[in-house]
Amino acid sequence: MSEGVKDSVEEKSEFGKLLKYTVLVYASGLFVGVLLDFLGLQRSSIGQWIVRALSGEGESIFDRVYALRRRFHRKSGSIAEAYGWGKFLPYLYALSAQMGANISGLVFLRKKERSWSKAINQYVRHPVMLTSLLVIFIVPIRLLVTRLMGFSPTAQVYTALETIPINLCWLPPLVGWLKGKLNLLT
């Protein structure tokens, strides 16, 4: 097996793990929303925080855990690990982790290529990094459009249902997984 194909197989597997974490936390956010609504806590601010944290940023927590596990097992660096490390930025707002993942990916490419010009050249050609950058710009626009259309969650489950589709942070791992899968086929 060539080195490029081997890297592609490992990258597909890594991004696949990140996708599994994302589905798990989205389901958790919905479950907590349904539970809080059932308990009569539809407008609880703490409930809103928990549901939004799980539905919007929960995958970032698991991405961090993934990066730490790779580091503890002394696995070689990868773009998926760099993506997970980037999620260690503080929660300035919902996309701070996505921005951190994007910057961390660029730094990873800089270390790999040993020059900024080559790293930027790889960055603008890497589908995961471009998708991550696109998410940073699309999410605020989607939220604004949702609010302008008059939607405001009145229950915890609606909060989860609003947050999950607006949070597109699952797209970069999906693109990485698909890229790995397509590389295997060619």
Instruction: For 68-103, write each residue's pLDDT tens digit.
Output: 777 777 666 666 666 665 556 544 455 677 788 888
The residue whose two tokens read 């989607």 is 142
CA separation for the pair 6, 29 (Å, rounded): 35
Burial 41-69 (b: 16+ CB within 10 A, else e): bbeeeebbebbbbbbbbbbbebbbebbee
CA nearest 70: which of 6, 28, 13, 4? 13
| Whole-number average pLDDT of the chain | 79
Residue 48 pLDDT class (50, 70, 90 cuts): confident
- pLDDT tens, position by position, 122-170: 999 999 899 989 988 888 888 788 888 888 788 888 888 877 777 777 7
**pLDDT of 86:** 58
The residue whose two tokens read 């080559």 is 118
Of 84 and 5, the structure prediction assigns the larger pLDDT to: 84
* DSSP 8-state assignment for residue 76: P
Q: Please indicate, yes or no, if residue 36 is contained in any of the structural domains.
A: yes
Supply the angle between the helices 171-185 and 79-86 in degrees, to the nearest 10: 180
Q: Please indicate, yes or no, if residue 185 is contained in any of the structural domains.
A: no
Q: Please indicate, yes or no, if residue 35 is contained in any of the structural domains.
A: yes
Q: Which domain holds residue 112?
A: 3-179
Cβ(89)–Cβ(97) below 8 Å: yes
Q: Please indicate, yes or no, if residue 186 is contained in any of the structural domains.
A: no
Interval 30-34 mean pLDDT: 91
The CB density around residue 112, as the number of other CB atoms within 10 Å, is: 14
Statement: residue 5 has pLDDT above 60: no
Cβ(64)–Cβ(88) below 8 Å: yes
SS3 90: coil
Q: Please indicate, yes or no, if residue 125 is contained in any of the structural domains.
A: yes
State residue 125 phi and psi, 5-degree precision: -105, -10
Q: Please indicate, yes or no, if residue 105 is contained in any of the structural domains.
A: yes
Residue 36 pLDDT class (50, 70, 90 cuts): very high
Of 112 and 76, the structure prediction assigns the larger pLDDT to: 112
Residue 11 pLDDT class (50, 70, 90 cuts): low
**pLDDT of 91:** 47
**pLDDT of 140:** 81
- How many separate domains does the chain show? 1
Question: Identity (one letter) of the amino acid at 156?
Answer: Q
Q: Classify residue 16 as exposed, middle or buried by CB count within 10 Å of its CB (0-12, 13-18, 19+).
A: middle
Q: Please indicate, yes or no, if residue 68 is contained in any of the structural domains.
A: yes
Q: Please indicate, yes or no, if residue 184 is contained in any of the structural domains.
A: no
CA nearest 129: which of 101, 91, 158, 166? 101
